[in-house]
Amino acid sequence: MLMSTVPSLAALSQKLTRLAVLSDEDRRAVLDLPVTLMTSRPGRCIVREGDKTDHVTVVRSGLAYSCKVAGDGGRMIVAFHMPGDIIGFHGVKPMVADCTVQGVSTCELAQVSRQDLVDLAATSPGITEALWRDREIEASILREWALNLGRRNARTRVAHLICELMVRQSVASMGYQSSFEFLVTQEQIGDALGLTAVHVNRTVQQLRRDGLIAGAGRVLVIPDWSSLAAAADFQPAYLHLPLDVPAAPAGARKSHHVSLAA
Amino acid sequence: MLMSTVPSLAALSQKLTRLAVLSDEDRRAVLDLPVTLMTSRPGRCIVREGDKTDHVTVVRSGLAYSCKVAGDGGRMIVAFHMPGDIIGFHGVKPMVADCTVQGVSTCELAQVSRQDLVDLAATSPGITEALWRDREIEASILREWALNLGRRNARTRVAHLICELMVRQSVASMGYQSSFEFLVTQEQIGDALGLTAVHVNRTVQQLRRDGLIAGAGRVLVIPDWSSLAAAADFQPAYLHLPLDVPAAPAGARKSHHVSLAA
DNA sequence: CGCCCATTTGACAGCTTTCAAATCGCGTGG
DNA sequence: CCACGCGATTTGAAAGCTGTCAAATGGGCG
């Protein structure tokens, strides 16, 4: 058995495979896409608002976010990007980026020529379908985000964001992990939820007191998924997960956790 | 010269023409798409959450909105749909609708087979590009909506929504009108902005007192576009309008209004 | 060991909601 | 033509959630 390094677009290939039925040839073509690899340190700009590039950027590892800023300087995070996500795919032709993308953590990225991607899609109905579906899911997440912002209080919003990131990260990494690496800053949570960092802090403490979340440092523990999901008003349908991807930790109604110094 | 009635998909054809370079043949193909016409009364469901249909719905006239509801019953409007907009185009394959679509006003609609639309796109790069760009703009609007919800106060939010609807409606109807038919209920404004109808009312009155908006009944008058846009923190770049479509009433910095009984 | 950033805490102000009730607008039926 | 009825708009007072400002604490990295 040959040892092989992980292909640079493995995460993308896996994601597209989840979104549509791809042939082996499709998958190989994705993995063979010419790429420019790069690494981005936390906080550094991956895409800048106003950019108009003829490549797209694929997240290979790490976590990134898109944000916009209001006239008064208020920052709003409008999306988080996980491994396999395509950043800046605005269809066939490049468009002016309407938000800035930065890394939460160190990110490994791959730049892919938009034309290469478009050409590949043109030859493969499966990939075309997967790309459409991907965009549609992103829009659906954005709509749920709007609901979160407009019609839920801080406690529910924070819990909902945790649930969403938890499920998406689990799906992206193929399978639920017993613990959950959570590198998002409280200030970033606030920027994603339309709250101040101070209020996020108080809310997180409340969730902790209520036993809905636990954990120390960068590891988040969810003692009881169903309780958290209930508090979050979290219904994963909007993520349009394939039916064979469970929306909650398999079996584990309780005790979905790993002990860790509290 | 022959008199001809307006084709049922004229609005769609015009919109796609704004989004990409289409050949005359492309335009004709769009107009020739087989349709099922229908009319929907205000408030009636056009699409129901959970639906999964193999047709898409095109707005021919009127105004509609998509909404989601939270667990506590809170309603959130996540998008408004204008003539030419495609509702329920979830890519190549149908997906489960994640929100309900209802009419603000009476809407004339056209149902188009998704397969017909996909087949047409497959033969025309221009239409493919236009469809992609359309979805991308919708996502961009959603992101701006998130910014609005998360980082702006009631006054700015209301002003921003008015600006957006004003510009989009003007673009959809080819050219700025001196008055602006505004059929959206204050309760619907609230549902779109994450506010209560009561607070929307107070905010609207404040905008009126400040002379930023005027008008009676269903007609909204904007005495000074640039003042309203400033108060709204409205920067139309996110709408990705073609450069030849002005983002503000041509010339008229002031007095973009039509007198009407106050 | 020291610096810097993230987290935490407290008091207070402010925007928005809530709850009721009154008024208005307008299409309908008598 | 006028009365009626229903939804939309208005108004008021009071409560509540979240923001603001400042300062202390804590943790990780060089």
Is the minimum CB–CB distance between A163 and chain B shorter than 8 Å?
no
Q: Tokens for A8, please give them.
A: 């640079």
Q: What does DSSP assign to residue A77? A: E
Give A228 to chain B, closest Cα distance, Å: 14
Is the minimum CB–CB distance between A51 and chain B shorter than 8 Å?
no
Specify the pLDDT at position B175: 64
User: Strand C positions with any atom < 7 Å from protein CB?
Assistant: 6-11, 15-20, 25-26
Give A132 to chain B, closest Cα distance, Å: 5
Is the minimum CB–CB distance between B155 and chain A shorter than 8 Å?
no
**What's the CA–C1' distance between A223 and C6, in Å?**
24
> What is the spatial distance between Cα A108 and Cα A90, in angstroms, rounded to a whole number?
21
Tell me if B159 sits within 8 A of B170, measured CB to CB.
no
Is the minimum CB–CB distance between A1 and chain B shorter than 8 Å?
no
> What is the spatial distance between Cα B11 and Cα B83, in angstroms, rounded to a whole number?
6
**What's the CA–C1' distance between A242 and C7, in Å?**
38
Helix (H) or strand (E) holding B177: none
Q: What is the mean pLDDT of each run of 10 residues along chain A (262 residues)?
A: 75 96 97 96 94 96 96 97 92 94 96 96 95 96 98 98 94 72 95 98 97 87 94 96 67 40 30
pTM for the full model?
0.92
> What is the spatial distance between Cα B193 and Cα A188, in angstroms, rounded to a whole number?
22
Specify the pLDDT at position B257: 39
DSSP secondary structure letters along B223-239? S-HHHHHHHHT--GGGG
Contact B240 A98 (CB under 8 A): yes
pLDDT tens, A54-83?
999 999 999 999 999 999 999 999 999 999
Q: Kindly provide the b/e burial profile for residues B98-131, where b requires at least 16 CB atoms within 10 angstroms of the residue's own CB.
A: bbbbbbbbebbbbbbbbebbbebbeebbbbbbbb
Nearest nucleic acid nucleotide to B194, CA to C1' distance: C16
Is the minimum CB–CB distance between B71 and chain A shorter than 8 Å?
yes
pLDDT tens, A146-163?
999 999 999 999 999 999
**What's the CA–C1' distance between A194 and C12, in Å?**
21
